């Protein structure tokens, strides 16, 4: 194996071993953004009603 690659592997192993014993807290993930449609449209019927209303609005706007 290439010696450079082996050195990198050894470096990562040392870093992983060192990080296992630390008392650092895990970084919380970002909250998932929930938009209004995801809260309103929960079923196939809700989706069909929404699309029917949207098509009606588009027709009126033209």
Matching residue, tokens 């009603």? 49
Average pLDDT over residues 23-33: 69
Cα dist from 37 to 4, 57, 58, whole Å: 52, 17, 18
* Residue 48 belongs to some domain of the structure: yes
The yes-or-no verdict on residue 61 having pLDDT over 80 is yes
Q: Indicate whether 50 belongs to any domain.
A: yes
Residue 44, in any domain of the structure: yes
Residue 28 lies in a domain: no
Q: Could you count the other beta carbons within 10 Å of the beta carbon of residue 50? A: 13
Please give the Cα distance from 53 to 24 (Å, whole number): 51
Residues above pLDDT 70, as percent of the chain:
79
Q: Give how many domains the chain has, as a whole number.
A: 1
Lowest mean pLDDT among 7-11, 26-30, 55-59: 26-30
Residue 22 covered by a domain: no
Give the per-residue pLDDT at 7: 87
């Amino acid at each position: 194996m290439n010696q450079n690659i082996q050195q990198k592997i050894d470096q990562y192993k040392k870093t992983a071993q060192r990080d296992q014993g630390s008392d650092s807290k895990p970084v919380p993930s970002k909250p998932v953004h929930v938009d209004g449609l995801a809260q309103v449209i929960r079923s196939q019927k809700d989706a069909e009603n929404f699309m029917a209303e949207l098509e009606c609005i588009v027709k009126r706007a033209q």
